[in-house]
Amino acid sequence: MPQTPADQPHHRLVPAPAGRIHLVEQGSGPLVLLVLHQLQALAAAGYRAVALDVRGYGRSSKPGDVAAYRMLDLVADNVAVVDALGEPSAVIVGHDWGATIAATSTLLRPDVFRAVGLLSVPYTPPGGPRPSEVFAGMGGEEEFYVSYFQSPGRAEAEVEPDVRGWLAGFYAALSADTMPAPGAPDPHFVGRGGTLRDRFPADRLPHWLGETELDVFAGEFERTGLTGALNRYRNMDRDWEDLAAHHGAPVAQPSLFVGGALDASTIWLADAIKAYPTTLPGLTSSHVLDGCGHWIQQERPEEVNRLLIDWLGSLDSPDSPGV
């Protein structure tokens, strides 16, 4: 059946605390807010799928203050998007930092976000030791990438002279078919006096990433720069302080988790996954995909789409725990 204009993705800019948030929406039905791109499959399944550029990315506003990228502000942006779309509530789904943003949005605004899908990064409740101290203690003489990202301008100086080449290596380093072999130097750490790129695979792309698609990703980051994205890492201690009243708090709404068995996030946070009966009491679907790395929605798109759609369909079934 040929597509009508209503079936096509539609770009919009909506007002938000960031200034403006750029989003793409497709389809009609219950609202699913995505901090990732799975539009076509969800729209075809009967959902109003909306993918947004988080502040600092793409065509959304890019505040200059590092503190403007704290979690409370990102949650406020998500709430503003739902309001601008004229909906009372939404299901929210995110990958990597998007998963943490989605989980925190659901924790802080259960009146707006009725369910949450987490891809690749497990939920860990706010609290525990101060994040900067935890990450500074990782790696021994090597420096963990999160600590490496803390000083404004430092990581930018590595990435921005060759955004396309850096992104290619970064995507390859965390994809199952191109990641370094077991026992090779870990690309999540920086050797003394080195850079992250030193440990990225060279001259090979993962199976899911073509040259044209890489050009699009690189073009966006060349236009915007990396500072907005990196400022998210530079707010973890602020988030820890801002969310002090929620330390240890579970997310009670219905939830989904999908991770890759070869992803460092799944491996390092295995205890967080084991704690889901306490931290995600509304968990209705949890999956770890064998032989899959970090970029699960690109590495295994059909499987991830099926899991998302099945889970979304279960939310309104008679056996659902309720929203």
- Quick one: tokens of 127? 């609290």
pLDDT single digits (tens) 166-207: 999 999 999 999 999 999 999 999 998 899 999 999 889 999
Integer CA distances (angstroms), 321 to 91, 132, 166, 264, 280, in order: 15, 37, 44, 31, 13
Tens-place pLDDT, residues 250-273: 999 999 999 999 999 999 999 999
Report the candidate in 121, 265, 133, 142 with the shortest Cα–Cα distance to residue 199: 142
What is d(CA 295, CA 309) in angstroms, rounded to the nearest whole number? 18
pLDDT, residue 319, reads: 56
Contact of 299 with 260, CB cutoff 8 Å = yes
Residue 132, classed as helix, strand or coil, is helix
Secondary-structure percent of the chain, ordered helix, strand, coil, rounded to 5: 45, 15, 40
Question: Closest Cα partner for 93 from 19, 36, 27?
Answer: 36
Domains with residue ranges and CATH for the chain:
1-127+243-323 (3.40.50.1820), 130-240 (no CATH)
For range 269-281, the mean pLDDT: 98
Residue burial 12-42, b: 16+ Cβ < 10 Å; e: rest: eebebbbebbbbbbbbeebbbbbbbebbebb
pLDDT higher than threshold 60 for residue 241: yes
Q: Look at the block and give the residue holding tokens 């200059």.
A: 64
| pTM as predicted | 0.94
Q: What is the pLDDT of residue 287?
A: 98
Show which residues are catalytic.
96, 294
> Is residue 4's pLDDT more than 60?
no
1: its two tokens: 């059946």
The two tokens of residue 66 are 């590092």
Spatial distance between the Cα atoms of 127 and 174, rounded to a whole number of angstroms: 27
Does 9 score more than 70 pLDDT?
yes
